[in-house]
Structure 1
């Protein structure tokens, strides 16, 4: 790594003098894993010899496979299968499949092969190039009632050898090339074209700079300016959405980020320099700044000893205690990428960093690949989402309600693996807030995670896993509860509904609680299945004092289930839209606002119809769509806990203000011993702070009693109803008495403080009378 091994020269014959890959460069096969949930359809493009492995088809479950040749004709035999029936469009979310079939000129009945329960993986081989659709059928009513849902794992292993770790193409490329390790390549982008910067092997860094082509023609070097960009977007890292652009020093946008699968970059440091290596004892070491100067020289760009750059995949952060810039190994995985759209004609340069004396790329410089896509390529905005660090990556999707949301707002933000509206400009956050308080709102909450827990030991599992007594939960009732780890820290919170004696539905915030349930079931040998619904059940929150009146116009229930007017707080039922033939959905009297409210859970196939019905029925009641910004104001006023705010790793349920959801009289549950100990001698408590001004402190702001910090702000907002700022804060019990006068530190608490009075939470409607109305 040091001395004579420093990267001065290259002997890799896989590249020509420009860095473009020669034919015959070492290649590798590719295996991709897909998870298929109930009613989903997955399209796979198979080449000759590709293998398809299917695992996890459980009891009373099935998969449907359909195969087409290159001209769109059914060809199950090319996958070694025989037809066993016809595709039933109504049994899955078929819009994408049907559109594809029509585009191929297909119509009528389509032969399929049905695959029932498997005890071991089924492996299929493509005899010719084919398109395969794998479908997980389930009737809509069965999905809503929690009957035999579940996910299936599908692996596609490519037989053909491909360039190492390169992700699938995003569209029609104009050019692509590899930047060898320790090199830089300059290239041109026309306005509207896309550049995809790919980390080939993972944990590599790639410096990037762009200059306006029209400026270079005049002898002006208008390039990305870090100060202007930080000022314009008010953030330091790239991200899709409205705050995603890179600007020059005249505040003119040059590029915007369209997709980012890594999410951790240092966008405004310097590329590595000769001086940086010299001062650490490595004179003559290759460096990105010199490489960039050399690559840009043919365009007449002035040479620089140190180039500012967007440092893609460089895992850098500011230490909150010392404010020093720190760095560690990159977060990027093989094939991670950033895709950007050029707003102007540009000259760009990309590097593959040669740094082998720092951890930024694991001390192992590797290649970077660049693809340039034509302007007409339909690359949608997206970021990567992984359920956990080693889980397969998925690109953020549009919600099932997106066709109705998109005409109303352009302000979306990632909510796990979906885009969720932040606000609607026709009403604004404040208008949405008052609509929820005084009339009725509808909000897309499809980012919630849902799990069905089914089987004779379902109750036993949930008794062990959750903090409330599940044995007391009747059918058609729900309960807000927690899942904790052994230390009593909250893993997740959510609502547990009982749909039948042996069927529960857990609606929560993260996939970790689903994994914890499965682990506990396996450890105890319980007869239970934990089914992740993934994206199969989008949901709407209909909240506000007029919500019940609205729903009376569209909800139909059968006599054997609770009617709308019979639902008490946290009651649940299954219903249909308007009449017995309407779209089925689960209806619960629940929400995250503290107001009277309901939640509707439906099939993706019925999402648009249900949205339309809600909006039509809500016109007379003043219905308003609501985004996440207004919801955050309302939930803080209502004293409702948020993940990574009120509860976070290292914070037990009582310190998170969630002791009301802990039943210590239960015989046992995960974390009980720790919570019993902490309940006897609490050290911290979650309390409210009434702030005597409109200044809103930041999450994590210190709370002081004199010179000593005695707490920390977990969430804060300006309350429109109280007409001043409020906060929830975790305080030492010695300073948590109502009426205590404390101060919230701004500017580290030294230069500015906000006076605050300790109070109970919720701030508004402490008896929850509005929700119980």
Structure 2
């Protein structure tokens, strides 16, 4: 049952937004007069709402909602992933007697919302339960969004910092246009939090032991950039700040903004004087005021790490600034690697966009060394989406001990390469034996309902009406102007059940918008977190999987599985964990992908590697995968294609049956024109010598620039330097001689020849074997 919206209510402009993840629950408070809107983002999601008013009163009754059965809440929380935190925040309330109301269910439409006004203060709970899932029957629990418009402007979240990550040892508010010092011991954590958003905070750190000896040795941005190879560190491989002696001082653990600066000084008196504002506060002077009593000599300008400061180096070498990217509550979390004396400011600049023209406060918190905050980078799918931290895949427990080269790939920690042999050896394992790579970061969407086929047929370039149950097809998704949103594969699991696997999480939003615009009865539900996968690739991949995958008589065995087909089976034996196996991959070799529920990930990994020992199985990282896909001429988002590139220019014109496909699809009219008048083409290049070309290198025919390198490498198996390039059609014929520009494009050139794609096995005889 879905309660009707409160009469006359419009959707509020929210002061607070709460994201309730599928399978989780969240507690939030409403004051008298607050307006709430609870939204089933993807549709079809069960959700139960509870409200607790003062003196033990039932808040749902006060809100005029029909009370559901009492007594179910303890069981719901027992299966909830953050039950302990919820119980702590609801301490004092009788959960066993609480009655909840169902806000939505399996038939609720995407975006369906409940709106209400709180007649009194109350504590609310939204539970979004997760149904059981397996690889062949995914029942993804999807997000709910709570929007709250506060009746009392003083109660709005603006002006108050977000809740701490744990019990803080220090909790310091740094008023706008001021600075403060504080001490941190080795192992403790420092959180720099932007309370209201778009506010810069300069940060200094000094070795505490040396300072007691009268020696100033501080954090050094130049040493940090040199050693890290980055403008500023971030969680993952390049995470440390160094001092002037090139010793590590701090490690970045979490970052919800991802846009900072280490190019310039903290703002100085001279800057304001020169701009015509004599006597204006500056961060450097504020630092002098608080560091002077500690025995540090004053400086006209302090070299600082400028968190949330948005600078850009222009093509001509000039440095410009703009408003910060940080939103309310964004923060950077660092771990001290030695005892430190730190100083933080809230930047005083109100004469340019550096702080959004309005300096506000900064919060600094210090947490004890006993905590174990996970390393994570926050991303937002859309500008108004809540931040989502980097996640671990189902195979992380097995991969992490084998590699310290983990990188954030589309929101998941994946291995770039492994410690044992490195990327080149992993590459050869795939070419000659069998290799395994974790590709759980691929986005999966369950497309279900009576109009599921019609929705997908309209959204993608392939003819989905011809897709048989058990078949997989590679396709493009385009915008109306013909540029590519993404590429991916569509699995047909049943007459009205499809699974789309792609790279961009925005594809789900795109599909739901199309369904709504066309009035289609279809649900698009994100299943990435309920379906993780490894890719098993190489000439011995069939032999390996045949040893461990058992299929029923109604499904093809691994030995029988055709190219771009899927089968549903079990791991090890008839009662083993369920898996889906597809004969797909991204290497140009015979290969498969194995899909499982995350709870079965370790079992799958262990059985694959146990069965693969006699076959020479090896784990493989993203670096080796990139080498393999370039040789095979396979395209990659934001390299070979983007929203400025159509499928023909990206080299996948075969995925656009524009003549034979009878139904209309997004971008069809634009693609008809683009195909009739092609301007650019993706080609292969063989480059003279051993020097590699890289993404973005210009391609020339004489003086004129005619294209750009999209990807390049030194091919181990071909013993040639090769590249993929998008060039003018006049320079795309096989055998055409062109040059790749280095330096300014003219001082140095690499000679190259256009060749047939792909460089390795262009007839795909190996992948079809």
C-alpha distance in 1 between matches for 2:268 and 2:74: 61
C-alpha distance in 2 between matches for 1:424 and 1:670: 41
Shift of 1:144: 2.5
C-alpha distance in 2 between matches for 1:430 and 1:643: 23
C-alpha distance in 2 between matches for 1:433 and 1:34: 41
Instruction: Summarize the Cα distance change of 1:698–1:292 in structure 2 as closer, same or farther, 3 Å threshold.
Output: farther
Superposed CA offset, 1:37-76 (max 9, x none): 4xxx3143567979997543999764578999xxxxxxx9
Contact 2:639 2:695 in 1 (8 A): yes
Three-state SS of the structure 2 residue aligned to 1:749 is: coil
**Match status 1:737 vs 2:719:** no
Shift of 1:263: 0.6
Aligned partner of 1:764 in structure 2 is 760
Give matches, 1:64-463, under 5 Å. 82-83=69-70, 115=102, 117=105, 121=114, 134-141=127-134, 144-146=136-138, 149=140, 151-155=142-146, 164-319=159-314, 321-463=315-457
Instruction: Summarize the Cα distance change of 1:131–1:633 in structure 2 as closer, same or farther, 3 Å threshold.
Output: farther
Aligned partner of 1:677 in structure 2 is 673
Aligned partner of 2:21 in structure 1 is 36
Contact 2:25 2:82 in 1 (8 A): no
Shift of 1:264: 0.8
Contact 1:94 1:605 in 2 (8 A): no
Superposed CA offset, 1:103-125 (max 9, x none): x9xxxxx9997946267539899
C-alpha distance in 1 between matches for 2:101 and 2:629: 47
Contact 1:588 1:598 in 2 (8 A): yes
Three-state SS of the structure 2 residue aligned to 1:140 is: coil
Three-state SS of the structure 1 residue aligned to 2:530 is: coil
Pick from 506, 511, 515: which aligns with 2:509? Answer: 515
**Match status 1:497 vs 2:499:** no
User: Considering only aligned residues, what root-mean-square deviation do their CA atoms show, in Å?
Assistant: 3.3
Aligned length: 728
Three-state SS of the structure 1 residue aligned to 2:136 is: helix
Shift of 1:34: 2.1
Shift of 1:305: 0.7
C-alpha distance in 1 between matches for 2:149 and 2:342: 33
Shift of 1:519: 1.2
Three-state SS of the structure 2 residue aligned to 1:586 is: strand
Shift of 1:152: 4.2
Contact 2:41 2:145 in 1 (8 A): no
**Match status 1:643 vs 2:634:** no
Instruction: Summarize the Cα distance change of 1:559–1:53 in structure 2 as closer, same or farther, 3 Å threshold.
Output: farther
Instruction: Summarize the Cα distance change of 1:575–1:87 in structure 2 as closer, same or farther, 3 Å threshold.
Output: farther
Contact 1:47 1:158 in 2 (8 A): no
Aligned partner of 2:716 in structure 1 is 720
Superposed CA offset, 1:450-508 (max 9, x none): 11111221111112111111111111001000000111110010001111111111000
Contact 1:173 1:374 in 2 (8 A): yes
Shift of 1:435: 0.9
C-alpha distance in 2 between matches for 1:66 and 1:425: 50
Contact 1:738 1:759 in 2 (8 A): yes
Aligned partner of 2:56 in structure 1 is none
C-alpha distance in 2 between matches for 1:638 and 1:764: 6
Give 5+ residue unaligned stretches, structure 1: 1-28, 69-75, 105-109
Aligned partner of 1:15 in structure 2 is none
Contact 1:274 1:286 in 2 (8 A): yes
Contact 1:384 1:393 in 2 (8 A): yes
TM-score of the superposed pair, with normalisation by structure 2: 0.87
Instruction: Summarize the Cα distance change of 1:284–1:64 in structure 2 as closer, same or farther, 3 Å threshold.
Output: closer
**Match status 1:603 vs 2:585:** no
Three-state SS of the structure 2 residue aligned to 1:772 is: coil
Three-state SS of the structure 2 residue aligned to 1:292 is: helix
Aligned partner of 1:7 in structure 2 is none
Instruction: Summarize the Cα distance change of 1:616–1:86 in structure 2 as closer, same or farther, 3 Å threshold.
Output: farther
Three-state SS of the structure 2 residue aligned to 1:178 is: strand
Three-state SS of the structure 2 residue aligned to 1:730 is: strand
Contact 1:65 1:135 in 2 (8 A): no
C-alpha distance in 2 between matches for 1:407 and 1:298: 47
Instruction: Summarize the Cα distance change of 1:611–1:165 in structure 2 as closer, same or farther, 3 Å threshold.
Output: farther
Aligned partner of 2:40 in structure 1 is 56
Shift of 1:218: 2.5
Superposed CA offset, 1:407-440 (max 9, x none): 1112111122211111111121111111111111
Three-state SS of the structure 2 residue aligned to 1:138 is: coil
Contact 1:715 1:728 in 2 (8 A): yes
C-alpha distance in 1 between matches for 2:41 and 2:341: 52
Contact 2:128 2:144 in 1 (8 A): no
C-alpha distance in 1 between matches for 2:746 and 2:587: 35
C-alpha distance in 2 between matches for 1:259 and 1:126: 39
Give 5+ residue unaligned stretches, structure 2: 1-13, 53-59, 91-95
Shift of 1:241: 1.2
Contact 1:192 1:341 in 2 (8 A): yes
Instruction: Summarize the Cα distance change of 1:747–1:557 in structure 2 as closer, same or farther, 3 Å threshold.
Output: same
C-alpha distance in 2 between matches for 1:691 and 1:750: 17
C-alpha distance in 2 between matches for 1:85 and 1:389: 37
Three-state SS of the structure 1 residue aligned to 2:223 is: helix
Aligned partner of 1:9 in structure 2 is none
C-alpha distance in 1 between matches for 2:328 and 2:719: 51
- Between 1:78-87 and 1:542-551, the stretch displaced more is 78-87
Contact 2:45 2:128 in 1 (8 A): no
Shift of 1:681: 1.7
Shift of 1:210: 1.1
Pick from 474, 477, 482: which aligns with 1:483? Answer: 477
Contact 1:171 1:379 in 2 (8 A): no
C-alpha distance in 2 between matches for 1:280 and 1:85: 65
**Match status 1:594 vs 2:605:** no
Pick from 684, 698, 705: which aligns with 1:702? Answer: 698
Contact 2:49 2:124 in 1 (8 A): no
Instruction: Summarize the Cα distance change of 1:390–1:653 in structure 2 as closer, same or farther, 3 Å threshold.
Output: same
Aligned partner of 2:9 in structure 1 is none
Shift of 1:165: 4.8
C-alpha distance in 1 between matches for 2:42 and 2:694: 48
C-alpha distance in 1 between matches for 2:436 and 2:85: 29
